Structure 1
Amino acid sequence: MHASDDLPPVTLDGTPLRVADLVALADRRARVSVPSHALETVERSHRTLLAARDSGIVYGANTGVGANRGISVVDDAVELTPEEEHREQAAHGRRLLRSHASGIGEIEDDRVTRAALVVRLNQLLAGGSGISPGVVHGLLAAVRSDSLPTLHRTGSIGTGDLTALAEVALTLIGEFPWRSGGVAPVDFAETDSLPFMSSSAVTLATTALAADVAARQLDAATVVAALSFRALRGSSEAFDAQVHAARPHPGQVREAARLRWLTESVTGDPLPVARLQDPFGLRASPQVHAPARTALGVLLDALDRELGGPAENPLVVVDGVRHHGQFHLATLAWSLDAARTGLLPVFSLSTSRLGLLMRADMTGLPPFLADARRNATSSGLMIVEYVAQDALAHMRIDATPVTSASISVSLGLEEHASFAIQSTRLLTSLVRSSGAVLAVELFAAVRALQMAPDRVAGTRLLPVFERLVELIDPSTDDRPLGADIARMEAELPMLGAALRDCPA
């Protein structure tokens, strides 16, 4: 009995795979289960592909690929025995894999690689590729044993992760070594090479993992904004239901309700308010957070469609095969661009609140939240603004859209690409930097509330503050602050739990 047998199962059968389930599999918190009917679908699909190849022309099965699509694998002018023809087709398939396994650069990490194998397995189980059942069994064995190939990151343009999947195939065959683990060499049939490579599994895996982080950080951003709001004694009129009902963007109404729920008094005691009208960092949070949530929702909706169902070219259908452009990830790339563009202002606003937390006239506390009673020249948290602004500068670069680019490859016959993989890697980088931005604000808000705990008393934020304040060094002396910021960043994925009972 394997240790993984005790993990909850996630069923793969070619239907849409939930992002949460894919993340759990990538993190080894779940195991894969494949029903027999899905494997039967693969067998039927393979027979259909062979019949279509034997009765006509099928791209990649009996032709070259790309600009070689009009060239037959077997020259009709040359008489070959069936055995010789089979050998020639098998050699073509192997050459296809070897020529395409030409990725370079950095190596994908274990989580992305593991998730990519799961995505590809689920796609193959949908029965649209025509791949032979033996390949599916081999890939399933690799997934179950957590055997990981080496995948290079550079070589995809958003029309299929051909280079990375060629590397997976050659690893399964036994030509490339496994990076970790390993399974018995898999026999690829003569028609299996293109069907196996015809996928954007790495792009989808990377997107799912990054989108999961982004969703958690948006929830955390709401809680952090609420903590800063209380530390700065903000006016709750900015979150009033009547205000947002006057221009009722649905996401904005919900975000205002969340902030109102977190920051309101649950004891009936009045909360301190410092100003008639607050700076934008406090009163515009619903307006800025809502578009980011909307854009991320669109991305997750696109992922729901991409993570289920076949998209191989050619696609095996009931009565044969169809050649198409479903491999083009234009919708996903656009959704990724929109998500990155929408996320950036949320964290830009975070640095605005951070700046307010440094100001004595806004907090009623010492400048830079320093222990000014002990040393009037104390720098306090002065330097953390630099840290946050550095991370935000990287985010601005990572928010640049990619869908406006153009391309022409394969002798000009493939003249467009989505660049979805570039966009999703930018999202991965962006959410990495956004964690640093948010962690710095969170640390500053906790420090301010540590100095004035009455400002959070009687609110639903009190348990959050009490947990966080125990994690930071209680000293307000000038000292290195990196460890405190790192502890706050580690807490970000859990902060969304504070919204669990919120009715909005």
Structure 2
Amino acid sequence: MTSTRIVIDGTALTCLEVTRVARDDVQVVMSDTGIARALESWKVARELTGTQPVYGRTTGVGANRLVDVEWDDADVHGLRLLRSHAAGAGPLLRPEVARAMLTVRLNQLAAGGAGVDPGVLPALADVINLGLTPPIPIYGAIGTGDLTALASTALCLLGERSWIGGDQGPGFPLRSADALAFISSNAATLGEAALAVTDLRRLLRASIVIAALSLVAAYGSAEPYAPVVHEACPHPGQQQVAASMRLLLAYEGSSPGRIQDPYGYRAFPQVHGPAVDSAAYAEGVITREINAAAENPLIDVVDRAVWHNGNFHTAYVGLALDAARASLFQTAALSASRLGTLVEPSFTGLHPFLAATEASSGIMILEYVAQSAIADVRRYASPAALGNAVLSRGVEEHAGFSPQSARATTDAITAYRIALGCELVAAMRALRMQGRAPTGGPLKGAYDLAASVLDPRVEDRPLDGDIAVAADLLDLEDFSAGVAPGEAGVPGLW
């Protein structure tokens, strides 16, 4: 049984757990070790601040880093920082992204290194468990810290702004000296990235099932998935996809309709494999970041030192997501290719467009819908990292735009889900019209699940409802449960 409680300790949070906290009825619980780690960091920060300059605590920030904070100004310096930086713009972050941000920041603080008052941790946990979120506009970060988002969160903790979901949430008297330490984080970007990569990996699994259904409907050949083929060119993702296809097709006959299929089937492992590898790499990067004490300045408890550094820069995250979107477009294009075969009588033995009669339109419009969605996947595939910015009087002269990369990944996934939904509607319709179904194993389970919710009628009618039902089906774990973690010698990437 899936636990309804997730323990936050600063070291072991996963992207899937972030997603569960953000979307499901899951409670977070602080571990004693996480709070103890934060406490030690806070003590050392206070000790060091009294003996040496510490960025943001005894100095200004950005171009004002060389300006010392006067002793009689110290109690309000941090509060001014929060108020001046809570200045985002545009529509608000979706509640699930805001909850993901709170979860990530809570875990980062439990990793130690920030030097923030440990009392903030249970306060943030209470906010999450009460279902409250701060009002955070989407525009304001460029990959060097989600300062506007976290400054707004800090003002909610202080009681100067209202939480969404309840005016009076659990407040906390955040100390002025801890202000910069609290907001110096990419938690909003990482929260959205964790949601996106979780969704992406689920859809990549589901698309293998859909490709297998399409192959059966098009009388395709399983020969391209033979082990010897992929041992000859052993990319991990390619091997994983081929192994999954072999598992899904294990119960099907071996009478292909042609000697070589189109690329949508024949080159599927070679094109879908890079998307699998890219998503796995991105998840690894994001997981490291959400469990890192990536603070600037970093409070070093062991050596009782403070280190000013560049761990606030999320180039790894942005570049990993950029690569994932590029590979996603490639495999989305193959989905459209397979959809094209399903409207052709030479592949299915049915009327054109899987229509009820030769003069009917059938699923003709699905190709338009799929190509419209894939056009957006292509548009979002443009690398966010190609941008740059010079800010704060030239002191901060580089940006990776990882927030924009995370947001583009979310949008690309939404479009990809629609394209896959179109292919699933077509594959299921073809198999039903042929009077055929997978004969066993996990592919039959996926077919039966889809058949239980998709309308079986073939006369011309609006198909928008069918697409929506199919797209929702892809998010169910049961649909892609048959995609195996791999065979002997094949790395498991799921």
Q: TM-score range by the shorter chain?
A: over 0.9
Matched, 1:172 2:157: yes
Offset, 1:458 = 5.0
**How many Å separate the matches in 2 of 1:248 and 1:143?**
44
Q: Which residue of 2 aligns with 1:58?
A: 54
Q: Which residue of 1 aligns with 2:63?
A: 67
Offset, 1:501 = 8.0
Q: Which residue of 1 aligns with 2:200?
A: 214
**How many Å separate the matches in 1 of 2:132 and 2:344?**
53
**How many Å separate the matches in 2 of 1:140 and 1:29?**
14
User: Residue 190 of structure 1: which of 176, 184, 192 is its match?
Assistant: 176
**How many Å separate the matches in 2 of 1:254 and 1:121?**
35
Offset, 1:464 = 2.0
1:354–1:441 contact (8 Å) kept in structure 2: yes
Structure 1 window deviating more from structure 2 (160-169 vs 32-41): it is 32-41
**AA at the equivalent of 1:297:** A
**AA at the equivalent of 1:176:** R
1:148–1:178 contact (8 Å) kept in structure 2: yes
The count of aligned residue pairs is 482
Q: Which residue of 1 aligns with 2:293?
A: 310
User: Residue 264 of structure 1: which of 226, 232, 250 is its match?
Assistant: 250
Q: How does 1:305-454 map to 2 (within 5 A)?
A: 305-318=288-301, 319-372=304-357, 376-454=358-436
The DSSP-based 3-state class of the residue aligned with 1:106 is strand
Matched, 1:37 2:33: yes
**How many Å separate the matches in 1 of 2:226 and 2:128?**
50
Q: How does 1:87-98 map to 2 (within 5 A)?
A: 88-98=73-83
**How many Å separate the matches in 1 of 2:265 and 2:92?**
42
Judged with a 3 Å threshold, the aligned counterparts in structure 2 of structure 1 residues 264 and 7 are, in CA distance, closer, same or farther, namely: closer
**How many Å separate the matches in 2 of 1:246 and 1:118?**
44
- Unpaired segments ≥5 residues, structure 1: 1-5, 75-84
Q: Which residue of 1 aligns with 2:90?
A: 105
- Unpaired segments ≥5 residues, structure 2: none
**How many Å separate the matches in 1 of 2:239 and 2:51?**
59
2:236–2:277 contact (8 Å) kept in structure 1: no
**How many Å separate the matches in 1 of 2:373 and 2:381?**
12
**AA at the equivalent of 2:420:** L
2:325–2:381 contact (8 Å) kept in structure 1: yes
Judged with a 3 Å threshold, the aligned counterparts in structure 2 of structure 1 residues 453 and 498 are, in CA distance, closer, same or farther, namely: farther
Q: Which residue of 2 aligns with 1:151?
A: 136
1:264–1:460 contact (8 Å) kept in structure 2: no
Q: Which residue of 1 aligns with 2:276?
A: 293
Could you report, residue by residue, the CA deviation over 1:453-488 in whole angstroms, capped at 9, with x for unpaired residues? 336335642232222123222211110011111111
Q: Which residue of 2 aligns with 1:81?
A: none
The percent of aligned pairs where both chains have the same amino acid is 41
1:231–1:456 contact (8 Å) kept in structure 2: no
1:244–1:252 contact (8 Å) kept in structure 2: yes
The DSSP-based 3-state class of the residue aligned with 2:453 is coil
The DSSP-based 3-state class of the residue aligned with 2:474 is helix
User: Residue 279 of structure 1: which of 254, 262, 277 is its match?
Assistant: 262
**How many Å separate the matches in 2 of 1:470 and 1:228?**
18
Judged with a 3 Å threshold, the aligned counterparts in structure 2 of structure 1 residues 277 and 459 are, in CA distance, closer, same or farther, namely: farther
**How many Å separate the matches in 2 of 1:455 and 1:241?**
25
**How many Å separate the matches in 2 of 1:333 and 1:189?**
32
1:233–1:455 contact (8 Å) kept in structure 2: no
2:29–2:125 contact (8 Å) kept in structure 1: no
Q: Which residue of 1 aligns with 2:446?
A: 464
Offset, 1:144 = 2.4
Q: Which residue of 2 aligns with 1:226?
A: 212
**How many Å separate the matches in 1 of 2:138 and 2:211?**
36
2:37–2:111 contact (8 Å) kept in structure 1: yes
Matched, 1:497 2:481: yes
The DSSP-based 3-state class of the residue aligned with 1:461 is helix
Judged with a 3 Å threshold, the aligned counterparts in structure 2 of structure 1 residues 133 and 457 are, in CA distance, closer, same or farther, namely: closer
Could you report, residue by residue, the CA deviation over 1:335-378 in whole angstroms, capped at 9, with x for unpaired residues? 11111111111111000000110111221111000011xxx321
Structure 1 window deviating more from structure 2 (127-136 vs 195-204): it is 127-136
**How many Å separate the matches in 2 of 1:451 and 1:43?**
66
TM-score, length of structure 1 as denominator length: 0.92
1:7–1:29 contact (8 Å) kept in structure 2: no
RMSD: 1.6
